[in-house]
Homo-oligomer: A and B are copies of this chain.
Amino acid sequence: MTSAAQARIIAAALGLFARHGVGGTSLQMIADEIGVSKAAVYHQYKTKEEIVRAVALDELAAVEAVLAEAEAKASPAEARDAALQGMVDLAVTRRRQTTSILSDPVIGRLFARDKHLHQVMSRLNRLLMGPDGGPDSHLETAMLTAAISGAVMHPLVSKRDDETLRAQLTLLARRFLGVNGG
């Protein structure tokens, strides 16, 4: 499915997309980052768009892993907190990456009508807002994920060390949801 060579390309592209945007990243930059030629990259992915897709799907898979873990919890309250904590962890440990990839306009248009993404958002919405959340709850989920992602990217926040950032984000995210405990 995903070879070692492909995994190297995805990892390199992810970092470069985050730093320069999708449009500002060339195949030459990706090839140089791994230490191979452009042709070697083209052997794995026929077009740049395929690379963009692969990177985005890889990030989406990381979110799905969080969802699966949360859905395995015994109670809805535990599941909600696991989802919340998992999203915070994802944003903090991968910092600018997962996060700024998903806010790139190119990726946004590529996935705006993607069923897979809708499905993931629905699962996340269900975990965070409960099964009986109306359509309004989707805005709440969107705001929360944007708040978490956007905060770690923020120029004035990025100096903080991971542990305090994680703790503060968790606290504020819980407050947004109206949850007090852990």
Which A residues lie at the B interface, using CB under 8 A? 18-25, 96, 100, 103-106, 108-109, 111-112, 117-118, 121, 136, 138-140, 142-151, 153-158, 160, 165, 168-169, 172, 175-176, 178
The 8 Å CB contact of A150, one of B18, B136, B142, B176, is: B142
CA distance A22 to B25 in the complex (A): 11
Instruction: State which of B21, B100, B109, B117 has its C-beta within 8 Å of the C-beta of A22.
Output: B21
Which B residues lie within 8 Å of A21 (CB)?
Answer: 21-24, 104-106
Bound complex: CA of A104 vs CA of B100, how far in Å? 8
The residue in A24, A121, A138, A160 that gathers the most chain B C-beta atoms within 10 A of its C-beta is: A24
Q: Chain B's nearest CB lies how many Å from the CB of A140?
A: 6
| B111 contacts A100, C-beta separation under 8 Å | no
A-B CB proximity, top 6 nearest? A146-B150, A23-B24, A147-B147, A23-B23, A142-B154, A112-B155
CB distance from A84 to the nearest CB of B (A): 13
Please measure, in the bound complex, the distance between the C-alpha atom of A132 and the C-alpha atom of B104, giving whole angstroms. Answer: 35
Name the residue on B nearest A23 (C-beta): B24
Who on chain B is nearest to A103 by CB? B103
